Structure 1
Amino acid sequence: MLPSFSYVTRHTGFRGTIKNSPSDFVVTEIEVPEHLQGVSRAEPLQRTGEVLPERSSPCPQQPKKRRVEAPPAAGGDPGRAGGGCSAPPGTNHRESEPDLKPGLKEGGMLDSLLGKSMSELLNKFACDVKDAWDLENNADCSSREFSLGPVPDKKTRADLHSAVRQKFPFLLTASKDSEMIVKGNADYRELCRLVTEKETSDFFKFLDAKLENATFSFEPDGNKEHRKIVHHFISRKFGKLLETKSFTVTDVNDQPNVSIVVRFREKRWSGKRSAGGFQEKQDVYTDFSYTGIKDKKAITYQPMVVKKVTPERLKEIGNKMENKGMKIHNIHLACQHLKLGQLKGNHFDIVVRDLKHHSHDDSSADLKKRISEAMENVEIKGFVNYYGPQRFGQGQNVQTDQIGLALLNEKMVKAVKLFFTPEDTDDPVNNAKRYFLQTEDAKGALGMLPEFKVREKMLLRALHRYGVNHEGCTKGWLNIPHSMRIFYVHAYCSKIWNEAASYRLQIYGSKVVEGDLVFSEQDESYFLNDKVHVVTAPEESANKYSINQVVLPMVGHSIKYPSNKVGQWYRERLSKDELQMCKFRVSPLQLNIPGCYRPILKNIQNLSYFLQSNEEGIGIEDNHLTESKVSLHISFDLDPSCYATVCLREIMKCDL
């Protein structure tokens, strides 16, 4: 699996086979995020095989999280972050003010996130801003800022953006690195001069929530010239995001009047124009979201969220799903979609069969003792945190990292040819790939592929339209989802990390040396440079850090490298792949690879195991194990992005 790669422990280990059947490798996501209420740990539910009744009442709809941006220039997209207020699609936002997350409403949320004293200081700053506006103190308004201090955690920062602007819609929030800055919102003040402050406050809450299909109505206004001024204000400030229209409404006295209604602009579909001048309508696929990708040859349990499908509909198709090898449990409404990486970890139940000594080991040695020694060592010392073989396409003629390297080098045609390189088998998929490489007939290959090969079909459709040249292949890659495109680049970055980890352990071992990168805090955020510390010579002498704190960078444009021999190794390794000048941004494919940091070692949690005879009625003797007559059952938990196969490699001391 990982030739010449390092081990942490020195025990002898043993041989065996895994994944003899899917039931030998069971993976269960643990500690599901709070927003998927009602599912906290999947294990007890999924093992029963029963479907629990769905919840009778839905969770309040939550706003989409938005990327935190700096305050916008006048006339641009406001770029507000977070959100924290929502309304059912198609309703007036002011008539349906929903709640924030339970227990985190406005002031309570701010007190929870900031602490009482900082929350009080923020309240005082907000009052001062309002007072300055009342005094028409323009100079003071424009320059006044308030810092909430550093907020390293991205989710906490997003919640804080939302909470501040829900309680104080007249304030803008922004992030400078990890520091949170608050200032008065000049756009809010300008709108206050045109409409009432309540309308202004409600409008900015509507804007901050960014709910699809939601609308906002200003109070009826019979003055056409005044309405025109309001239309122009919204167009000038938020025209890229919003559109307005005047509608006739009836007031309380049944008299007709006119009101301005605001809605978010629809996202335009990109597509080829038909002869009639209209864009061709593209297929809209049902959106499933999940937090992690699981092993193919395994039984896996994980929460999933499907958009715009009712629980009743999912229950209806449950039997059809079972025919395809899938079961649906615990169907209920959820607050929002899931994102990759939101899981807290995975629980594994694994059976290792065909237990044997290594060929170099004394065959008379106690195999049971070998197993016990291996378990104890790895539980204490952990394992090298390599990316597992499934990251790269185990056993394939072309691995995913090779495609990723071609994309980073912007060799689009080469990347396509690698993608369609067939395996040495005679089946419809590989025959279609073989035909395409021989003929470059994308349409013909498309007709040969089974329906389930979604990625291949997406790419071939674009190649048929645009041709198999650099431009056509670039458009082909753009035709598949961003998450799929970047997967290949991440595979390459993972391969480099694996090699770097081996090099680091081979030259320095478990000693932390000058120039190493470490995380000094327990609350690790592997994407923040300000959390990474470069070990100094005095710190090396004092043995200040342990090998468990050492991290290595995943290559990207926003990371720093070790300042010892490992950093030099990175430069030479990237140069070998012609990436010495790579900016790790592939603009034609809209790929941006900032990089991150990954601990060299990881620990196993909640480890337990037992031996079981493969033959009914035959017990296991205390001091002797007959090879291949027993199986090893192991259970343990791993953090996200850790590979059970890599952990087993450390336990067994063999490639799997």
Structure 2
Amino acid sequence: MLPCFSYLTEHTGFRGTIKNSPRDFVVTELEVPELFLRGTRAELLQKTSEAPPAQSSLCPREPKKRRTEPPGPAAPGCPRDAAPGPPGRGPSRAGGGCAASPGSNEREGDSDLQSGLGEAPVLESLLGRPVSELLNKFACDVKDAWGLGNNADAAAGEFSLGPRLDKKIRADLHSAVRQKYPFLVTVTKDNEMIVKGNPDYRELCQLVTEKETSDFFKFLDAKLENSTFSFEPDGNKEHRKTVHHFINRKFGKLLETKSFTVTDVNDQPNMSIMVRFREKSLSRKRCAGGFQVKQDVYTDFSYTGIKDKKAITLQPMVVKKVTPERLKEIGSKMEKKGMKIYNIRPAYQHLRLGQLKGNHFDIVVRHLQHHSHDSSADLKERISEAVESVKTKGFVNYYGPQRFGQGQIVQTDQIGLALLNEKTVKAVKLFFTPEDTDDPVNNAKRYFLQTEDAKGTLVMLPEFKVREKMLLRALNRYGVNHEGCTKGWLNIPHSLRIFYVHAYCSKIWNEAASYRLKTYGSKVVEGDLVFLEENDESISLNDKVHVVTASEESANKYSIYQVVLPMVGHSIKYPSNKVGQWYHERLSKDELELCKFRVSPLQLNIPGCYRLILKKVQNLSYFLESSEKETKIEDNHLNDLKVSLHISFDLDPSCYATVFLREIMKCDF
């Protein structure tokens, strides 16, 4: 696994086997806060038909929020003075959000913000409380100006959220600001995010009630295909015409409107305006007769983490465009495929990789033995010593073998390096390198390398090899040359494409961590990078990473548990000691420059991040059990019994249980 890498602890360890069966390795994803769940959610139990068990970094970013939940009645603390609404349409409020949509009795966020209790809302967690409070004041000022009719003052006002270099964080902020303050808009100028009043929101508020305005912008932001939005019944034809013109003028490329007859609250016929998204030309294809036929819309699953293959894994998933009732209907079919769906309930947003809080592990280590060099007769003492040592000191936070394709002839990091070097043909050949087995998949790969016949290989491959087929379709069309292979890689979803690059970056990090510990040990030295626990989320990640000075080293100011190493990328800083020099030499060996982590032809952009060298486990418990008698072992005589170690613990996101077990057992798997 990690044959030449460092150990943190000095105990002797022991031997054993893991993953004898899926039941020996149970992973339960720690619950994503309900605040972040938004689509239909199903939790999947993989590799088993049994019921789930009873137990339940610096790289991840906060999840994005979409405006599909009921907004609060106004910006917290802002005045809610009523303003005249359009003639015949009832009162309208100037500025803020509106009451919760039908079926909801709660307004999310207000009470927590005002009392300071509970989890921080997404916007506050992204900005930090000081900036969040200033933004709230700005929102109130805009609302007040609109309420007083000072449209010019409201339009001229701006509030800066500061420079945000990370594109993902900017996207999260754009969405979070719109969600909390639908009457505001955000724009980006040279990476600086600016917040202003939304004149379109204000203008529509003059035509319809504010609740309708807020609901309309929710509909607009959600962008759900085949969804519609209807305004309240309106018997004034001229007024309806004005609303039609407003929507067509502002959103005509995206939306279309029509009036239709409805029954109002008095059971009288009336007219209402319905809005829907224009059908995209990409969703249709032309058949032989010249007519356009709508293509199938595929269902998307989203999740927060990738789990072990040989294991029982439990995790939340959000399924787009599938109702809870439909999921319940197909439950029995899913069980036949080794998956069980349970705890089905509605959600309002997809999940993203890295959004999880961590994982809980329940693991059984079987065939316990001493190491060959260990002459001790007390195996129980060896196990207890090992577990307690790692519980106290932690472990080296290496990326585990799953990251690189354990046991494969070509590992994922090799493909990632080829992509970074823009050697797309080499990357394709590595991708199709077969294993030493005689099965349809590897026979198809072997055939492709021998013939470069993409079309023939497509026929040979089983349907479930989706990535391979995506790549081959492009190669069949464009050829197995640099241009064709580049287009082939672009035919694979970005999340899968960049997975290989991240594997390479992870390999470099593993090697850097090993070098750092061998060179300096557990002492924090000048030039190290340490992560400062800053509560102000408006501070950039680079500003939270501090370079240790000579005086700070002498004063032992920092702990080894604060030391981070960079994941290579174009926007990170390196240690200013021997470790930084090691990075330069290591990347040069692979023909990579430090600025080479933008690969435009492949749409790859790797800014980099930081990862703590050491990690500690939480909620650790363990016991020894006889596999014959199923009773706990209370004495020290283990050598004559078939015993297993049952161990349970929690790990933070992106930490590997196999790496934790490696540190305990002092052996590779």
Query: Deviation at 1:128?
Result: 4.6
Equivalenced residue count is 615
Aligned equivalents of 1:39 and 1:370: distance in 2?
44
Within a 5 Å distance, the mapping from 1:264-303 to structure 2 comes to 264-269=277-282, 283-303=296-316
Q: Matches of residues 645-656 of structure 1 in structure 2 within 5 Å?
A: 645-656=658-669
Cα distance in 1 for partners of 2:290, 2:112 equals 51
Counterpart code for 2:15? R
Instruction: Using the TM superposition, give the Cα deviation of residue 50 of structure 1 relative to its aligned residue in structure 2, in angstroms.
Output: 7.8
Give the AA of the match of 1:533: H
CA deviation string 1:273-307 (max 9, x = no partner): 76667788655432222221111111222222323
Aligned CA distance change for structure 1 residues 27 and 156 (closer, same or farther; 3 Å): same
1:49 aligns with 2:63: no
Equivalents in 2 of 1:617, 1:609: separation in Å?
Answer: 15
Change (3 A) 1:166 1:343: closer
CA distance in 1 between counterparts of 2:105 and 2:210 reads 27
Partner of 2:478: 466
Q: 1:146, 1:182 within 8 Å by CA — same for their partners in 2?
A: yes
Gaps of 5+ in 2: 55-61, 72-96
Residues 178-189 of structure 1 mapped to structure 2, 5 A cutoff: 182-188=195-201
Counterpart in the other structure of 1:482: 494
Partner secondary structure for residue 185 of structure 2: strand
Which residue identity is paired with 1:652?
A: M
Deviation sequence 1:555-606 (CA, Å, 0-9, x none): 1222222222222221221111111154422222322222221111111111
Distance in structure 1 (CA, Å) of the matches to 2:99 and 2:154: 32
Structure 1 CA distance, aligned partners of 2:221 and 2:323?
A: 27
RMSD value, Cα: 4.5
- Residue 585 of structure 1, aligned match among 577, 598, 601: 598
Are the structure 2 counterparts of residues 590 and 534 from structure 1 closer, same or farther at C-alpha, using a change threshold of 3 Å?
same
Farther off after superposition, 2-11 or 525-534: 525-534
Distance 2:470 2:511 in 1: 33
Q: Indicate which of 422, 425, 433 corresponds to 1:421.
A: 433
Equivalent of 1:553 in 553, 559, 566? 566
1:329 equivalent in structure 2? 342
SS in 2 for 1:230: helix
TM-score by length of 2: 0.79
Q: State how far apart, in whole Å, the 2-side matches of 1:154 and 1:462 are.
A: 29
Assess if the C-alpha contact under 8 Å between 1:514 and 1:537 holds in 2.
yes
Q: 2:578 aligns with which of 565, 568, 583?
A: 565
Cα distance in 2, alignment partners of residues 31 and 248 from structure 1: 45
Could you tell me which residue of structure 1 aligns to residue 101 of structure 2? 98
Q: How does 1:56-205 map to 2 (within 5 A)?
A: 84-85=69-70, 98=101, 104-105=107-108, 107-108=110-111, 111=114, 113=121, 121-122=137-138, 124-130=140-146, 134-135=149-150, 138=152, 140-141=153-154, 143-146=156-159, 165=178, 169-173=182-186, 182-188=195-201, 203-205=216-218
Deviation at 1:254, TM superposition (A): 13
Distance 1:282 1:158, change over 3 A: closer
1:369 pairs, out of 359, 363, 381, with 381
In 2, are the aligned partners of 1:32 and 1:39 still within 8 Å (CA)? Answer: no
In structure 2, relative to structure 1, the CA distance for the partners of 1:523 and 1:322 (3 Å cut) is: farther
Which residue number corresponds to residue 639 of structure 1?
A: 652
- Partner SS state of residue 631, structure 1: strand
1:215 corresponds in structure 2 to 229
Output one character per residue of 1:425-478: Cα deviation in whole Å (capped at 9) or x when no partner.
Answer: 111111000001100111111111122212112221222222211222122222
Of 116-125 and 287-296, deviating more is 116-125
Residue pair 2:304, 2:351 contacting (<8 A) in 1 also: yes
TM-score by length of 1: 0.80
- In structure 2, the CA distance between the partners of 1:644 and 1:65, relative to structure 1 (3 Å rule), is closer
| 1:519–1:549 CA contact under 8 A, matched in 2 | yes
For residues 385-442 of structure 1, give each alpha carbon's deviation from its aligned partner in whole angstroms, at most 9, with x where no partner exists. Answer: 1000011001111000111111111111111110000011111111000001100111
Describe the SS at the equivalent of 2:340.
coil
Tell me the CA shift for residue 536 of structure 1: 2.2
Alpha carbons of structure 1 residues 583 and 101: separation in structure 2 relative to 1, 3 Å: farther
Contact preservation (8 Å) 2:183, 2:202: yes
Cα distance in 2, alignment partners of residues 201 and 610 from structure 1: 56
Kindly state the Cα deviation for residue 354 of structure 1 after the two structures are TM-superposed: 2.0
Change in 2 beyond 3 A, CA 1:130/1:109 = farther
**Which residue, 446, 451, 457 being the options, matches 2:463?**
451
311-320 or 491-500, which deviates more: 311-320
Matched residue type, 2:526:
E
- Aligned position for 2:84: none
What are the Cα deviations for residues 621-655 of structure 1, in whole angstroms up to 9, with x where unaligned? 72332167322221111111111110010001111
Q: Structure 1: how far apart are the matches of 2:632 and 2:199? A: 79
**Structure 1 residue aligned with 2:416:** 404
Secondary structure, counterpart of 1:302 in structure 2 = strand
For residues 399 and 623 of structure 1, what CA distance do their matches in structure 2 show? 42
Q: Secondary structure at the match of 1:126?
A: helix
- 2:512 and 2:583 in contact (8 A); partners too: yes
The CA distance in 2 between the partners of 1:411 and 1:462, in whole Å, is: 17
SS in 1 for 2:435: coil
Partner of 2:551: 538
Q: Are the structure 2 counterparts of residues 318 and 653 from structure 1 closer, same or farther at C-alpha, using a change threshold of 3 Å? A: same
Structure 1 residue aligned with 2:19? 19
- Please list every run of 5 or more consecutive structure 1 residues that lacks an aligned counterpart in the other structure: 53-63, 68-80, 87-93
* Whole-Å separation in 2 of the counterparts to 1:163 and 1:446: 43
Offset of 1:314 from its aligned partner? 3.1
Match of residue 524 from structure 2: 512
Change (3 A) 1:616 1:83: closer
Show the 5 A alignment for 1:373-388. Answer: 373-388=385-400
Give, in whole Å, the separation in 1 of the partners of 2:105 and 2:166: 20
- Partner Cα distance (1:254, 1:364) in 2: 88
**Aligned mates of 2:198, 2:324 — CA distance in 1:** 42
The residue type equivalent to 1:356 in the other structure is Q
C-alpha displacement of 1:320: 3.0
Q: Please give the alpha-carbon distance, in whole angstroms, between the structure 1 residues aligned to 2:106 and 2:164.
A: 20
* 1: CA distance, partners of 2:138 / 2:261: 40
The separation in 2 between residues aligned to 1:40 and 1:454, in whole angstroms, is 23
Determine the C-alpha separation between the residues in 2 that align with 1:196 and 1:26.
52
Residues 273 and 507 (structure 1), Cα distance of their counterparts in 2 relative to 1, 3 Å cut: farther
Further displaced range: 511-520 or 417-426: 511-520
Residue 491 (structure 1) aligns with = 503
SS at match of 1:340: coil
Letter in 2 for 1:481: P
**CA–CA separation in structure 2 for the residues paired with 1:652 and 1:436:** 42
Aligned residue number for residue 310 of structure 1: 323
Indicate conservation of the 8 Å contact 2:42/2:317, yes or no.
no
User: In percent, how many aligned pairs have the same letter?
Assistant: 72
SS, match of residue 557 in structure 1: coil
- Report deviation, 1:126: 2.5
Closer/same/farther in 2, CA of residues 572 and 221 from structure 1, 3 Å limit: farther
Give the whole-Å Cα distance in 2 for the aligned partners of 1:177 and 1:529.
18
Structure 1's 130 and 455: CA in aligned 2 closer, same or farther, altered over 3 A? same
